[in-house]
Structure 1
Amino acid sequence: MARTLTIENMPPTVTGKSTGRPMGPVAEDEDFRFHALLYPNRSLSRDGFRRVLSVVVGVNIVNAVIYLTLGAWPVAFFCGVDILIVWWAFKLSYMQGRRHERVMLTDDALWISRVLPSGHETRWKLSPYWARVSIDRPVQHDTQLQLIEKGRTLVLGSFLSPKERGELAEALGDALAKARTA
């Protein structure tokens, strides 16, 4: 079965620079029916990054010295460029890792907050009575977790693994169903 990717068409409630404070009328001590903070998976810790970069620097310095002694000085330049490219790629990866989403369900509202690596935050406020969770089963790599309210769609957790998206869909769907009956 061919899957089609949905484009978000739900306008945000609030946009702006992330302050790190609780969203809108949601207080820190408020009792949540559901609360999830979603971050992309990081495969390498900061200490692991230092170790990998140390190995890359060591290997490139050894290669640069060997090629300098052989008279091939341009190769030494490219060894330095190689170090910079690896450092830049990891820096970019860690910047993308600052992206996160927060899902908070209270008695009155379902709040979704998406913070980009730049610090720009977008917030949506949905009604728990109208919002429903949609996800294709079985969950595959390209499956999207969608929140649908009155014909508008919001894609949630696109950076999560398929298993994590499925678990989030199930937990959020259960929490919304309980909120509707309460």
Structure 2
Amino acid sequence: MNEEPVFEATLSPHRSLGRTGLIILVVLTAGATIFHLGFFAIAGAWPIVGFFGLDLALLYGAFWLSYRSGRAREFVTVSRTDLEVRKVAPSGRQSAFRCNPVWARFTVDRHEEIGITHMRVSSRGDGTEVGSFLNPDDKESFATAFQRALSTARR
């Protein structure tokens, strides 16, 4: 893209629990697990000991997967001659969709209660979904700004 962009956006998934919060949660859960583990060990309920470790491992694994998926990014750039949507998967794999903004079609699917459910940019039979991981409010604000940018680029 050689021209000055009319619009640039970096989209990323929202994570409500930060790294510090995760550490606190795991430490508190581990502390509660170890505390209760002592009672079961004294009572001779040894099979329960293994299950206590399992719940902690599952909790950590669930948050690890959540943070991994949180590394996904989408970079959307619009200039007068080029529109690019570059996606970066959590694994680092990248894909890109490019087209002329004059030929681009931006479609938005809405649900009456939820709001925007899907956003798609397409051109001449090819296309890509945009912002699938965004919450409804973020989808709404992105759709408004992106539609405005497309209109500006087409003038």
Query: TM-score scaled to structure 2, two decimals?
Result: 0.92
**Please, which of 116, 124, 134 is the counterpart of residue 150 of structure 1?**
124
The residue number in structure 2 matching 1:88 is: 61
Q: Does 1:59 align with 2:6?
A: no
Q: Which has the higher strand share?
A: 2
Equivalent AA in structure 2 for residue 148 of structure 1: S
User: Over the residues paired in the alignment, what is the CA RMSD in angstroms?
Assistant: 1.7
Query: TM-score scaled to structure 1, two decimals?
Result: 0.79
In structure 2, stretches of 5+ residues that fail to align are: none
In structure 1, stretches of 5+ residues that fail to align are: 1-25
Question: C-alpha distance in 2, partners of 1:62/1:142?
Answer: 46
- Shift in Å, 1:174: 0.8
Question: C-alpha distance in 2, partners of 1:39/1:52?
Answer: 24
Question: C-alpha distance in 2, partners of 1:65/1:142?
Answer: 50
Question: C-alpha distance in 1, partners of 2:73/2:129?
Answer: 13
Q: Does 1:113 align with 2:86?
A: yes
Task: Determine which structure has greater relative contact order: mean sequence separation of CA pairs < 8 Å that are 6+ residues apart, divided by chain length.
Answer: 1
What's the % identity of the aligned pairs? 34
Q: How many equivalent pairs are there? A: 154
Equivalent AA in structure 1 for residue 121 of structure 2: L
Bigger shift: 148-157 or 127-136? 148-157
- Shift in Å, 1:108: 1.8
**Any runs of at least 4 consecutive aligned residues in structure 1 with deviations exceeding 6 A, and if so which?**
none
Question: C-alpha distance in 1, partners of 2:83/2:33?
Answer: 52
Q: Which has the higher helix share?
A: 2
Secondary structure at the counterpart of residue 157 of structure 1? coil
